[in-house]
Structure 1
């Protein structure tokens, strides 16, 4: 089959683990970039990446990359492409443009020129043109410009891949699902090892851990833009879906635990887990993180503590973080704790020595994944068994 060039954006900081994941899915010529991974593959690789990647935000098919100097160059490059061979004018489109060090004055004007080029090409060939739908387009076209090169991509995903089709209710400022999956990968946690999120919010870490434990492909419950392309291979897609479903494990109870102080927040987590069919495989309860005990002799604690709105203002935080550190020291010996936060106060006030601080981004917000090894000899004995070392980055 013909090999194509693709780009998979992801949360910044997760590029190395996305690259490894894409290689496992059959991608070749894999190269990490700032904010994503460039790779090559046929349509099987593209379909599998959409269906099975837990880390990618989208899978973009590169259809052009050329030098440019003006808006007219952008228009001409876009106009020359065989859009009519890729999709029909009955479908709606949206054009998105991003740039770094671009000399052109208006990205809005560049966006308009790309849209005009696509529509003009359709009018020339078919006497019809696609309509623009900025809310729910059938086809998303992405343009990217640096100082001298213009690249165009067709989005094969449609809705962003972190929209798994599972979440019923979102809590306050939840982290995206692919970021949660990436954090779990960075910790070194594996299915079968106890996992606790004691401030679980709407349950994002729990949902991702359950899917990983049961080997459920994250894209099984949703549709994709590539299904609307003219040369969509339905037989191949049906085969890949059937293979993914056959790899799923039975829904047996897993050592995954979640809790939260707030009943309304816990109700959102319960609704999400129930909608996904995971209610019976993990344990969820209402509890204060400062009063809980470890649910197993060893395991991984992974959490994104709420800050500001739910816990209170600065004074409340200065009281909460040291208490959290005390709980980890006294009640979680033998565990590894991973705290994901954008709050610069936390590492200063928790009174624990972080063994690793991994920079990550939650959207545009710079965060840290803090690793605390609450261990003496106990965890080292465990590591001779099945618990892997966390990946370094």
Structure 2
């Protein structure tokens, strides 16, 4: 292939290899919290993706540019949507450099765009991921310099273009990030708490619990309100991507960005939004006054404070707001000895409070504490493995019936 040089390099004609994802099917890989892969596959199918294959932490699929845009706009489960550029077997870092250099990067984005390279490895026989990062960065810059006489700048804080390399024991694959900032950053929360629950994990918990819009829902340990915000978005059919700034999406920095297509999809999503007739049957509570204040602040920032009631109260003292519904909570896990002892005393009281007041409710708790089911004195109907960041957890589901279930 003949390379162009000079300023024309910023506007290379489309159609040849490396010209960006075509309107016809391209190969993509979307990441998500581990344990939510099946839900991600449902989102991909709903957005038009085909040939879907799940793997721990994500799913591969084929789709058009519209499928890519739709998934970024509508999925509450996806973390990122990556477009696959090239893949090959390798023996050492030189092979990975050649793989990256052979991609026609000037056909993908302008040299004026800043870049950052991310590397993920699984059982890769390499000495240093930092060195691989450097080799890919060098290959991209060298290709731009060869074709254009200039090289892009590197920005590790807020890059315009994110390039991902994934290496296994024998194969290296390069992706271009269509999402930019991770999709769980909805742009709704301005007040946070320590160790917050990520939005896509919260959305997955709600779906796994079986909750559906219209069913009463309460989060009695609401923290900064993540579960409440996700539930409200689902109840109003509000596409999560609409609350983000357009510049936060990676595909808007590409040469083949289709603004008319993106605008049409956003308009369609906005028109689908349901107007709430009154307060939603969604409630939040927390014993911590600061957490209640932060939740209210986040709901107000999202324009939802008039739809959801939040109050300061201990979970052990809450009266159910409806005869039946779904209770979801992300209680403290306990990381120090004193906290573990406190939780060991708290769980039996929680079980008693649930049996006393929440008969007819389905109650779900995300926890990394394996003692929870035994100490709470209830038999879980489901135990779903989930990962909260690097922490392996279980989502425990209990159907509460009147009376004691203890022997």
**TM-score above 0.5:** yes
Contact 1:93 1:138 (8 Å CA) reproduced: yes
Q: Work out which of the residue numbers 230, 236, 239 in structure 1 matches 2:264.
A: 239
3-state SS in 1 of match to 2:387: strand
Contact 2:114 2:153 (8 Å CA) reproduced: yes
Write the distance in 2 (CA, Å) between the matches of 1:312 and 1:10.
33
3-state SS in 2 of match to 1:281: coil
TM-score for both structures, normalised by structure 2: 0.90
Shift in alpha-carbon separation, 1:38–1:188, aligned structure 2, 3 A: same
Residue in 2 that maps onto 1:97? 119
Contact 1:336 1:375 (8 Å CA) reproduced: no
Say whether 1:335 aligns with 2:361: yes
Q: Work out which of the residue numbers 152, 157, 176 in structure 1 matches 2:179.
A: 157
Q: Work out which of the residue numbers 323, 327, 331 in structure 2 matches 1:301.
A: 327
Residue in 1 that maps onto 2:242? 220
Residue in 2 that maps onto 1:387? none
Say whether 1:282 aligns with 2:282: no
Q: Work out which of the residue numbers 271, 275, 278 in structure 2 matches 1:250.
A: 275
Gaps of 5+ in 1: 377-393
Which stretch has the larger CA shift, 26-35 or 310-319?
Answer: 310-319
TM-superposed CA distance for 1:112, in Å, is 0.6
3-state SS in 1 of match to 2:52: strand
Shift in alpha-carbon separation, 1:290–1:196, aligned structure 2, 3 A: same
Residue in 2 that maps onto 1:115? 137
Shift in alpha-carbon separation, 1:262–1:310, aligned structure 2, 3 A: farther
Residue in 2 that maps onto 1:67? 89
Write the distance in 2 (CA, Å) between the matches of 1:144 and 1:338.
35
Write the distance in 2 (CA, Å) between the matches of 1:279 and 1:218.
17
Write the distance in 2 (CA, Å) between the matches of 1:328 and 1:311.
26
TM-superposed CA distance for 1:309, in Å, is 7.8
Residue in 2 that maps onto 1:81? 103
Alignment of 1:1-393 (within 5 A): 1-222=23-244, 223=246, 224-252=249-277, 253-308=279-334, 313-375=339-401
Q: What do the CA deviations read for 1:332-354 (whole angstroms, capped 9, x no partner)? A: 00100000111223222111111
Contact 2:199 2:226 (8 Å CA) reproduced: yes
Write the distance in 2 (CA, Å) between the matches of 1:357 and 1:346.
11
Write the distance in 1 (CA, Å) between the matches of 2:339 and 2:364.
23
3-state SS in 2 of match to 1:358: strand
Shift in alpha-carbon separation, 1:208–1:310, aligned structure 2, 3 A: farther
Alignment RMSD:
1.4
Shift in alpha-carbon separation, 1:309–1:258, aligned structure 2, 3 A: farther
Residue in 1 that maps onto 2:13? none
TM-superposed CA distance for 1:73, in Å, is 0.6
Shift in alpha-carbon separation, 1:197–1:312, aligned structure 2, 3 A: farther
Contact 2:216 2:281 (8 Å CA) reproduced: yes
Write the distance in 1 (CA, Å) between the matches of 2:309 and 2:137.
50
Write the distance in 2 (CA, Å) between the matches of 1:251 and 1:229.
37
Q: What do the CA deviations read for 1:245-300 (whole angstroms, capped 9, x no partner)? A: 00000133210000000111111101110000000111111111011111100000
TM-superposed CA distance for 1:70, in Å, is 1.2
TM-superposed CA distance for 1:310, in Å, is 11
3-state SS in 1 of match to 2:317: coil
Contact 2:187 2:243 (8 Å CA) reproduced: yes
3-state SS in 2 of match to 1:313: helix
3-state SS in 2 of match to 1:340: strand
Contact 1:311 1:317 (8 Å CA) reproduced: no
3-state SS in 1 of match to 2:276: coil
Residue in 2 that maps onto 1:380? none
Shift in alpha-carbon separation, 1:311–1:254, aligned structure 2, 3 A: farther
TM-superposed CA distance for 1:89, in Å, is 1.2
